[in-house]
Amino acid sequence: MTQRVAPLFRMWAVFLKETVQMRRDRLTFAIMFGMPIIQLILFGYAINLNPKHLPAALLVEEQTPIVRTLVQSLESSDYYDFVLQTADPMESSDLLARGEVTFVVSFPAGFTRELVRGERPQILIEADASDPAAASGAVSQAQQVLERALRHDIKGPLAQFGRAPPAFELVVHQKYNPEAKTSYNIVPGLLGVILTMTLVMITSIAMTREVEQGTMENLLAMPARPAEVMLGKILPYVAVGAGQTALILIAARVLFDVPFAGAFWILLLGVSVFVIANLSLGFTFSTIAGSQMQAMQLTFFYFLPSMLLSGFMFPFRGMPAWAQTLGEVLPLTHFLRIVRGVMLKDASLAQLQSPLLALCAFTLVVMTVAMVRYRRTLD
């Protein structure tokens, strides 16, 4: 009888031991519960495959009741949020290149007059198709929305313009990625994702490994300063990051035919800052985690929002405001703006100034945390 239940007792003993150990390991515990919660929130609320309220710029060269009505109708369709109205085409196309707006809607001068004469004037929608998913929903709705506006909202003598065939011609320019190939969007993004995953992971075990292998005592007994240790541990991986970058860029060209529109040196600058940002973050994790296992978990914990909130998987501008705010904190978000900007949009250094500065600021903050957290003694 006792023989038969012995395995149960041993299992119970192990179960209790594991329970105790699990409760001791606060960080792992937190991650085990935090992860599903965050996943639920992100998948459930943040991700929007039919993004609405996308920022748009309005380029109008005349102000008439009909133009206002049409603009109003686009706005109330919930797809377009006009953040700026201008008469300067330079200004609006610059915004598009920076990625601050997803669309520029233009009504040319003389639109109203031509409409009245039945000359079918053009309405131009320039869409940032570097992320095809973001633009498609809004673009496909535009025709219908505008037609309906002419039909219902315009009464009186002008009501005839609402009848078919439409009294205007909608022209859509899919800019930066005219064929709307998702690979153009995904592959440069993948560069950022791969660098994030591997580099953060590798440096996240930098210090924890020393602690676990018992070499920390030796390291601390020798005159190595925290900043020296940090940089010494980070720098070898900058070379690794460079190698990964080369590999992915070659694959982008050879396998996916992704164009490279911009200046290579700007991308190089962006990649360098981004690589250092990730390595410093990993190092900081290694000063926080108590073991290599915890370091890995922290990395994974960080990786998830990076994938989901950076604009890699889902259009950044299509996410709710709070998710965008969170996304702004992630280096990957800024790197995606740089890499897509350079490769697909031929963005200039000035246009990429803010994501570059954001990456630098992130690196500084993270390194400061690492220095504060670095153990100078064994206790």
Partner 1 sequence: MSQELAIDVRGLVKRFGSKTAVDGVDIQMPRGEVWGFLGPNGSGKTTTIRMICGLLRASEGEGQCLGYDIRSEADRIKSKTGYMTQKFSFWSDMTIRENIEFVARLYRLPHTRKVVDETLDKLGLTHRQHQLAGALSGGWKQRMALAAVTMHDPQLLLLDEPTAGVDPQARREFWDEIHELSLQGMTVLVSTHYMDEAERCDRIVYLANGHKIVEGTVSDVIDRSGLVTFRGEGPDVRHLAKQLKGQPGLDHVAYFGAALHVSGEDREKIRSVLDAHSGHDVAWQEVRPSLEDAFIALMAEAGEDTREHA
Quote the DSSP letter at residue 85.
E
Residue with tokens 């954001």, as numbered in its chain: 358
Q: Which stretch binds partner 1 (CB under 8 A): 70-78, 223-231, 284-292, 330-338?
A: 223-231
Query: 8, 223, 321, 350: which one contacts partner 1 (CB under 8 A)?
Result: 223
Cα–Cα distance, 43 to 359 (Å, whole number):
26
Cα–Cα distance, 34 to 32 (Å, whole number):
6
Query: 24, 156, 254, 379: which one contacts partner 1 (CB under 8 A)?
Result: 379
Cα–Cα distance, 122 to 104 (Å, whole number):
14
Tell whether residue 169 is a contact of partner 1 (CB under 8 A): no
362: nearest Cα among 285, 287, 274, 283: 274
> How do strand 80-86 and strand 103-107 relate by DSSP bridges?
unpaired
* Helices and strands, number each (H, E), in the chain: 15, 5
Residues contacting 365, CB < 8 A, separation 6+: none
Q: How far is the CB of 233 from partner 1 (least distance, A)?
A: 13
Cα–Cα distance, 5 to 1 (Å, whole number):
7
Q: Which stretch binds partner 1 (CB under 8 A): 4-12, 100-108, 218-226, 264-272?
A: 218-226
Minimum CB distance to partner 1 smaller for 2 or for 377: 377
* Angle made by CA atoms 130, 136, 137, in degrees to the nearest 5: 140
| Measured CA distances, 225 to 1, 231, 238, 376 (Å) | 63, 10, 21, 8
Minimum CB distance to partner 1 smaller for 1 or for 222: 222
Minimum CB distance to partner 1 smaller for 36 or for 223: 223
Q: Which stretch binds partner 1 (CB under 8 A): 112-120, 207-215, 317-325, 335-343?
A: 207-215
Tell whether residue 220 is a contact of partner 1 (CB under 8 A): yes
Asked whether 278 and 200 are in contact (CB, 8 A), the reply is yes
Q: How far is the CB of 296 from partner 1 (least distance, A)?
A: 19
Q: How far is the CB of 376 from partner 1 (least distance, A)?
A: 7
Minimum CB distance to partner 1 smaller for 240 or for 307: 240
Q: Which stretch binds partner 1 (CB under 8 A): 131-139, 209-217, 299-307, 343-351?
A: 209-217
Tell whether residue 321 is a contact of partner 1 (CB under 8 A): no
Cα–Cα distance, 66 to 81 (Å, whole number):
19
Q: How far is the CB of 293 from partner 1 (least distance, A)?
A: 19
At residue 63, what are phi and psi to the nearest 5 degrees?
A: -115, 105
300: nearest Cα among 19, 22, 28, 40: 28
Tell whether residue 235 is a contact of partner 1 (CB under 8 A): no
Query: 225, 250, 329, 364: which one contacts partner 1 (CB under 8 A)?
Result: 225
Tell whether residue 215 is a contact of partner 1 (CB under 8 A): yes
Supply the DSSP string of 234-279, one letter for each residue.
HHHHHHHHHHHHHHHHHHHHHTT-----S-HHHHHHHHHHHHHHHH
The residue type of 322 is W
Query: 8, 37, 164, 222: which one contacts partner 1 (CB under 8 A)?
Result: 222
Q: How far is the CB of 243 from partner 1 (least distance, A)?
A: 22
Minimum CB distance to partner 1 smaller for 4 or for 24: 24
- Stretch 347-376 residues interacting with partner 1 (CB under 8 A): 376
Minimum CB distance to partner 1 smaller for 156 or for 214: 214
Q: How far is the CB of 282 from partner 1 (least distance, A)?
A: 19
Minimum CB distance to partner 1 smaller for 207 or for 332: 207
List residues near partner 1 by CB under 8 A.
213-218, 220-225, 376-379
